[in-house]
Structure 1
Amino acid sequence: MIDALTSLVAPLGVLQDAELLTGGQFATTYRVTLTGGERVVVKTAPARTDQLLAYEHDLLRAEALVYSLAASRPALKMPTVLRTDFTRTVLPSDVLVVSHLPGVPLVDAGFDPADPRTARAERDTGAVLAALHAMTGPAFGYPCGRQAPTWTESFTGMVDELLDDAARWSVPVPSDRVRSALARHAHVLADVTTPALVHTDLWAGNVFVDPSSGAVVGVIDPERAFWGDPLADLVGIDPMGREPGTPAVLAGYGPIDVDSPSARVRLDLYRMRLCLVMMIEITPRKFEGDWVEPHRAAVTANLHAALAALRV
């Protein structure tokens, strides 16, 4: 792997050291130090495409696209794309090389919930999301995948793909109840008429903060982004929660409807979808460890809570 990394960063400098980063469950990521002291991040997609969910193909290409869109918007605090290799010749998968961000992941910062730095990080996260959602796309759906002219059609297709994935890997999910929820509430999806850029995965591991102040200094991993409803990001920042963000997140975001009947239903539809992703991916990824079964149970409970709220 060192030879491949050396080749990949050669246009940027000479590799001095490479450190495998942990914490992600999709890509393989290295922090590379060049001889001049500059650090870059090299991210590689899984080579085993047969272990991917339908929407996960070409995710690194989507991440590169989002970073490129964010390049002229410093409020988004995303890395700079330094190099891509989508030829799959140096490695048998796509590769993305980006600038190294300052700070530490919020999940590792050790802030107490009552710490003022926590509120600062949450307010800044809300502001980043608002800036992200100001970007709009040509259609609804995945930047490098299937798109549709309406959010109803796009979101329904996203969920249908997940149900197909569940069947493919024999993952037991309440497919009939999920389809009933979509049919029952399709009209509220039609309330979304502008395809905003949605990160979908801005949990505390993907937010970098200044450990002294709590200020957000970086945002990473938008590979699962889609053009859709901004409310989906208020689910993505707390996948196991039942409320749309915290008061500090909402204060940082600014005006956003989270309380109308339409908004509450859409939030539960997005919780339903995210729970399906988290349930299904366990099997093809072959997750292991003592954490897996408690995680599966918690996600299953959250899925049923969302379906109950949707009255199906």
Structure 2
Amino acid sequence: MDALDHAILDLTGDRIAARRPLHGGDLSAVTLVTLQGGGRVVAKSGPLVDREARMLTAMAETGAPVPDVVGVAGNILLIEALDEGAPQPTAWAKAGETLAQMHGATGANYGWNEDYAFGNVEISNAETTDWPDFWASRRLLAHAPYLPGGVAPRLANLAERLPHLLPAAPRPALLHGDLWTGNLLFGPEGGIHFIDPACYYGDCEVDLAMLHLFGSPGRGFDEAYGPLEPGWETRRTVYTLWPALVHLRLFGASYRGMVDRLLKELGV
């Protein structure tokens, strides 16, 4: 028996009948497991799966649609297996409505009580009461030692301007933290779930920026989510820069152009 066999037996009391890898495993292995009793679960393996389980639980407590956590055994997380399908006409509106509901949950500070990581890219979530400082130190300047020449000084210049570009004290909303379209799972009959979180508390516009990074949400999302405060266009560029930096570090020079473009749009 391997580690997955043991985890399945420990957490479900059942044994594996079949297993197959699922897409979405760029940073961790994801496996669909069929149990001998006929049920199905999804297994994710990695060093931080216990933290993901706690994030999913925090999101679920707001009423956000997430897969149920079955349990954690060592470095294996078992979650509910969900059916996938093409987005139904009302699915994007439902996504906007449920995201706004989740963002209604508020923390005491900006950040999270645990750090996280995307692969070998560490994500510092040390809490603070100063939002521009959080974004400068935890999300931009933290990357500076690992970036190609010329990028770090521009980030430093941008960090000095953040108090004039970002609100000093936006409501600390519960964020998904990695909300690109691939982390929205559409199901039958208009169902939708948020998956693969990297939660922390911060400006709700962070999730919206990420969701628009590689495209735009479908019809009805913006209206269902609700209007944004004036100046959101500039803030979106600031917030989009962070996932662009993460992609540059994870996947290499093909993302340098995106980072340069965003910095140029911000005048640095």
Shorter-chain TM-score tier: 0.7 to 0.9
**2:140 counterpart of 1:141:** no
Whichever residue aligns with residue 97 of structure 1, its letter is L
Counterpart in 1 of 2:250?
Answer: 281
* 1:216-272, Cα deviation, whole Å (9 max, x unpaired): 3322100x222111111112113235x7x5662211212332xx23x2222111111
Counterpart in 1 of 2:204?
Answer: 230
CA distance in 2, matches of 1:126, 1:172: 39
- Which of 72, 75, 98 does residue 79 from structure 2 map onto? 98
Length-normalised TM-score, structure 2: 0.85
Tell me if the contact between 1:18 and 1:31 (Cα under 8 Å) persists in the aligned partners.
yes
Secondary structure in 2 matching 1:140: coil
CA distance in 2, matches of 1:173, 1:280: 15
CA distance in 1, matches of 2:22, 2:150: 32
The number of aligned residues is 255
Question: How far has the Cα of 1:172 moved from its partner?
Answer: 4.2
Return closer, same or farther for 1:70/1:200 CA change in 2, 3 Å cut-off: closer
CA distance in 1, matches of 2:214, 2:184: 17
Whichever residue aligns with residue 156 of structure 2, its letter is R
Identity of aligned residues (%): 25
Counterpart in 2 of 1:271?
Answer: 240
Question: How far has the Cα of 1:164 moved from its partner?
Answer: 2.7
Counterpart in 2 of 1:34?
Answer: 35
CA distance in 2, matches of 1:271, 1:173: 19
CA distance in 2, matches of 1:202, 1:39: 25
Return closer, same or farther for 1:190/1:300 CA change in 2, 3 Å cut-off: same
Tell me if the contact between 1:84 and 1:95 (Cα under 8 Å) persists in the aligned partners.
yes
Question: How far has the Cα of 1:132 moved from its partner?
Answer: 1.7
Counterparts in 2 of 1:155-304, with a 5 A limit? 155-158=135-138, 159-166=140-147, 171-172=148-149, 174-211=151-188, 213=189, 215-222=190-197, 224-241=198-215, 248-257=220-229, 260-261=230-231, 263-283=232-252, 296-297=253-254, 299-304=255-260
Secondary structure in 2 matching 1:264: helix
* 1:50-94, Cα deviation, whole Å (9 max, x unpaired): xxxxxxxx4x333211211233344x11011111134xxxxxxx3
Question: How far has the Cα of 1:280 moved from its partner?
Answer: 0.9
Counterpart in 2 of 1:289?
Answer: none
User: Structure 1: which 5+ residue stretches go unaligned?
Assistant: 47-57, 87-93, 112-116, 284-295
Tell me if the contact between 2:95 and 2:192 (Cα under 8 Å) persists in the aligned partners.
no
CA distance in 2, matches of 1:25, 1:7: 24
CA distance in 1, matches of 2:23, 2:143: 26
Secondary structure in 2 matching 1:84: strand
* 1:185-214, Cα deviation, whole Å (9 max, x unpaired): 323334333211111322222212235x5x
Tell me if the contact between 2:130 and 2:168 (Cα under 8 Å) persists in the aligned partners.
no
